[in-house]
Amino acid sequence: MYIDYTDVEKPNGERATSSLPSTGANVVVLSADPVLIDLLRDSLADNHRVWRADDAAHAADLIVAAGNAVLLADSSLADQDTRDLVTRVHEQFPDLAIIVAGRRDDEAELAELVSKGVIFRFLHKPASADRIRTFVEATLRRQQRGADTPAAVQRTGATSAKLKALTMPSIRLDSAGTRSWLRRSLLLIPLALIILLLATWKPWAKPGDMVPANDGQPTSADASRESAVQKLLDSAGLALSRGELVEPPGQNALELYRAVLARDPDNRVAQRGIDRVADELLAQAEKALMDQDLAALASAVDAARAARPDHPRLDFFTSQLERELLRSSTPGKPLRPAGIATAPTDAPKSAQTPTPAPAPVSARSDASRVQGLVLLANERIRSNQLVGGTDSAHAYLLSARRIDPADPGVQRGVAALAALLQTNARKAISEGRLDEASEWVHQAVELDVDRPEVAELRSELEVARLGNVREDRARLFTLANQRIAQGRLIEPAADSARHYLDLLRASDPAYEGLAETSALLAGKALAEARRLAATGNSSGAEALLKAANDAGAPATEVAAAATEIARARVAVSPPKPVAPAVLPENEMHRTHFVAPEYPSRALERGTTGWVDIEFTVARDGSTRDATVRGSEPMGVFDRAALESVVRWRYEPRVVDGIVVDQRVAARVRFQLKD
């Protein structure tokens, strides 16, 4: 049931024909629906002012401040009970005209308030601009009529009260003169009444009152012109509220709104409706992305692109879709199951025309693939993932360029990435990070753009490398001379004069001063070799003699030093003592003993036995090279015996005053205690 009290009759049955104030009225809208607010402003912009209230208290303040106001309350407010809100507002402002916007379910709940006149109009959502303007102007006319009658009554009552309150002084008058004056003054009463009526009505300020009003009802011509569009809008709004965004064919919100635009290209309700469809589709895409539902994500993105290809959030979801497609391990899998239709891309089709099923991934056009790769590349550029692996701007742009080198998006992306790579390379060069700079330059070379710029960068990199090389060589030369002065000729191996001279010689054999420093090292090494030979340290003397020879010492001096070292070795080396081949273990003095661990399996079974073992007592008293010579039972106790002997310690064997290694034999017994 649609309740509409557009025509208000006077008590005598005549049609009211009051008009609107020429200065316009203030429409206070209490709603959070941007489509409704925009429609109000668009439809009333020429005649009235629209004020948006944040809540009921704010609406009351605006009503008080506005004076001649109309309240339009949206029943979809989540934090307000519409019935209670309207009742409270009516109690506070009994003469205020109230319009409620909502759906048919809300109308049924508020029917009682509509019938009582508390709610003057109920506006169905979604509504057209013309219907909103018609309702508001009818409400204002009703309010104007309601405001005029109490004012007249008030003026009459006030006049009567004043006449009753006046007490005139008694004055004696001539009765004949009085009657004559009254007869003359009666002629002036009609004229005074006409003047008073004109002053009250002011017809010159309201020329619209001279034309009979239709009380807000559209004419038959307007109704016939708008009926088709309004029916489509109502059907589209109903489909949108049901969530029928792109399905079923011919009866979905998107096709119905497009049908409106085909008849009325400037219809703002249809334009905003398509925006709402795109928003809802992208909300579905967001949910599908969170649920990792690739098929639903692709379907929602395709439908949103068909609805509003310039939607500001579409690029993000397109890039997310491309990323998921690249990560998918089954590239031949369809984006969504066959039979799920995409949104229409042209004008609305009839309900009998089936929507084709989407194509699989393998059938997507090269243009779509290039667009997806460019979107991914742009996202990686924004997140500074320029190079490195397959998930980088560099990799995506190279892939897109292989598909379509002439694509403008690819060319712009390549140019932007090349500029960033060159900037990073130049910064790394200035900070001395030459290896990193080399990598940036290499990536820029692969893009094959700005060749002169890249060539200049490579030149700068080579110059920086040469500068570093010169600095490194000078540092090596300085360190070599410092170590010679400190007497650190060949030890420690990684921080000696020989080490630094070897590095410098490998880098630049012709380095200035290298020959002189090498000769200095050779002389110092020969002198130190002779000194060590004289003290009996033949091995140290031989190492220094080799270093002197490598450093370029004269051959005659090297030969003379070698002779001296040989003579010193013969002079100080006593004859090598001969130790017995194998001694029994009881002839050695053991200083530390570790009992073998009894094998658990042998312990459980009560097995006993022995192991004959032979090992070497080294010159430091430790044991090594232990072997099993025999065992009983075979293989049961061998490992335990070997592990025990390794930890035994002895006093070393001394033969003719010389400490020597000694081979020792022992039997290790494994017995159980009673």
Q: pLDDT, tens digit, for every residue of 243-270? A: 899 988 888 999 999 988 988 898 988 8
Segment 69-105, tens digit of pLDDT: 888 888 876 456 888 888 988 888 888 889 988 887 7
Which residues make Cβ contacts (< 8 Å) with residue 81, sequence separation at least 6? none
CB atoms within 10 A of CB 546: 16
pLDDT above 70: residue 409: yes
pLDDT above 90: residue 38: no
Report the pLDDT value the prediction gives residue 648, as an integer from 0 to 100.
93
Contact 204, 8 (CB under 8 A): no
In angstroms, the CA 505 to CA 442 distance is: 30
Segment 335-351, tens digit of pLDDT: 443 333 333 434 343 33
In angstroms, the CA 353 to CA 341 distance is: 12
Specify the residue for token string 């893009």. Answer: 447
The two tokens of residue 440 are 């940036």
**Which among 223, 226, 246 has a CA at the least distance from the CA of 236?**
246
Average pLDDT, the chain: 77
**Amino acid sitting at position 302:** D
Sign of CA dihedral 368, 373, 377, 379: positive
pLDDT above 70: residue 305: yes
The two tokens of residue 448 are 């094959």
What band does 357 get if pLDDT is binned at 50, 70 and 90? Answer: very low
Report the pLDDT value the prediction gives residue 327, as an integer from 0 to 100.
67
Question: E strand or H helix at 158, and its extent?
Answer: helix 129-165
Report the pLDDT value the prediction gives residue 69, as an integer from 0 to 100.
80
The two tokens of residue 533 are 């030979």
Burial classification of residue 16, based on how many CB atoms lie within 10 Å of its CB (0-12 exposed, 13-18 middle, 19 or more buried)? middle
68: helix, strand or coil: coil
- If you average pLDDT over residues 389-415, what whole number do you get? 87
**Which among 263, 239, 271, 268 has a CA at the least distance from the CA of 252?**
239
Report the pLDDT value the prediction gives residue 225, as an integer from 0 to 100.
54
Residues in the chain: 674
pLDDT above 90: residue 471: no
Dihedral Cα 95, 100, 105, 109, nearest 10 deg: -20
pLDDT above 70: residue 21: no
Segment 524-577, tens digit of pLDDT: 888 888 888 888 788 888 888 888 888 888 888 888 888 888 887 776 555 555
Report the pLDDT value the prediction gives residue 206, as an integer from 0 to 100.
47
pLDDT above 50: residue 147: yes
- If you average pLDDT over residues 602-625, what whole number do you get? 93
SS3 content of the chain, % helix, strand, coil (to 5): 55, 10, 35
What band does 174 get if pLDDT is binned at 50, 70 and 90? Answer: low
The two tokens of residue 460 are 């700068």
In angstroms, the CA 233 to CA 258 distance is: 10
Percent of the chain with pLDDT over 90: 15
